Amino acid sequence: MSSGPEDLWPPFGHAWRPGGGRPGDRAGGGRPGDRPGDRHHGGRDPRGPHGGQAARRASGREIGGRGHRHRSSLSQAEIVDAGIAVADAEGAAAISMRRIAQVLQAGTMSLYWHVDNKEHLLDLMLDTVLGETEVPDAGGDWRAALRAIAFSQRALLHRHRWVMDFIGGRPPLGPHVIANLERSLTALDSLKLDTATAMNVLMTVNTYVMGAVLREMRELRAQRDLEASGLDKAEIETGMREWARRLRADGRFGHFLRIIEDDVDPDAEDTRDERFEFGLDCVLDGIAARVQPADLRNIPDTQGGRGANGVG
């Protein structure tokens, strides 16, 4: 016998409340925006591990000044670093010429001797941050190079979460981005690809990283919301058992129930790195199958899942 929709909600999230209640009945009452986790600040939660002081420590940039500054004592690099520190701590929406001037304890107009306007500053900030991507010299091993690039990009996007709001819609081709792109394309030389295919390979890896990081950010937000809900572990476990009982009685969710019965948490913090690595390997395997020369693809596997040249 099928259950009603209200019986199928899990024992966490905004649609469930301890002691029953309809989906949409939110624990604690109040309007959306009045509860923890309902407000978002430029893709950043100030309570999260990269908010406030933690963000400044993670980025290596501090918000603060050294007394009133004259334009002659400022530099473009200082202004850019201040902008990145503010964005890391408060989100990109907090960026303004006046805010950066306050951080540097300088006159607002003095900044315009070094940057044209806020849009110019954002381009400089993005170019600087994206330049943090490490592109190693992998000695011709394109797979090792792309793997290292992916892990570096992932770490960068977690350090500077505001960047996700701009990638794709605002790609700056500044000196740091161009230099990294040059090194990344060089890492693919051994595949002898045409330029369009080489760019497609890089964009495929980059798109996977962005998607994975977006999911990881949502997992972190859900984890913070659950912690803020006040539910203890015993209460959640009791709710999960009752939820599984209702799903089992419904009779339509055998495969889904295996997730619960096998104790598989697709959002578990302790498997986040493992899940990222698994997905990345799938992407790299697909690239290898698509672009590797046919004569190498057909060589028998003698290296535990990789071809004769180390490519899977």
Residue 288 in domain: yes
Same-domain status, 146 and 204? yes
Same-domain status, 77 and 124? yes
User: What is the spatial distance between Cα 84 and Cα 76, in angstroms, rounded to a whole number?
Assistant: 12
Q: Check which CATH number belongs to the domain holding 73 and give it.
A: 1.10.10.60
What is the largest distance, in Å, between two alpha-carbon atoms of the chain? 77
Residue 78 in domain: yes
pLDDT of residue 311: 43
Choose one of 97, 130, 163: the last residue of a domain.
130
Same-domain status, 83 and 198? no
Same-domain status, 211 and 281? yes
Q: Check which CATH number belongs to the domain holding 193 and give it.
A: 1.10.357.10
Same-domain status, 78 and 185? no
Choose one of 91, 108, 130: the last residue of a domain.
130
Residue 237 in domain: no
Instruction: Give, as one character, the DSSP assignment of residue 106.
Output: B
User: What is the spatial distance between Cα 223 and Cα 241, in angstroms, rounded to a whole number?
Assistant: 20
Is there a contact between 108 and 97 (Cβ–Cβ < 8 Å)?
yes
Same-domain status, 68 and 161? no
pLDDT of residue 46: 38
Same-domain status, 208 and 71? no
Same-domain status, 146 and 290? yes
Structural domain boundaries, residue 62? 52-130
pLDDT of residue 227: 85
Residue 286 three-state SS: helix
Q: From first to last of the 312 residues of the chain, give the pLDDT tens digit.
A: 555 566 666 676 554 445 544 434 444 444 334 433 343 334 444 334 344 444 444 455 656 544 455 556 899 999 999 999 999 999 999 999 999 999 999 999 999 999 999 999 999 999 999 999 999 987 889 999 999 999 999 999 999 999 998 887 665 678 999 999 999 999 999 999 999 999 999 999 999 999 999 999 999 998 888 888 888 888 888 888 999 999 999 999 999 999 999 999 999 999 999 999 999 999 999 999 999 765 445 445 444 444 434 444
Long-range contacts of 207-212 (CB under 8 A, 24+ apart): 208/150, 208/279, 208/280, 208/283, 209/150, 209/153, 209/154, 209/157, 209/280, 210/157, 210/164, 210/167, 210/168, 212/154, 212/276, 212/279, 212/280
Same-domain status, 125 and 162? no
* Number of domains forming the structure of the chain: 2
Residue 182 in domain: yes
Choose one of 104, 130, 156: the last residue of a domain.
130
Same-domain status, 170 and 275? yes
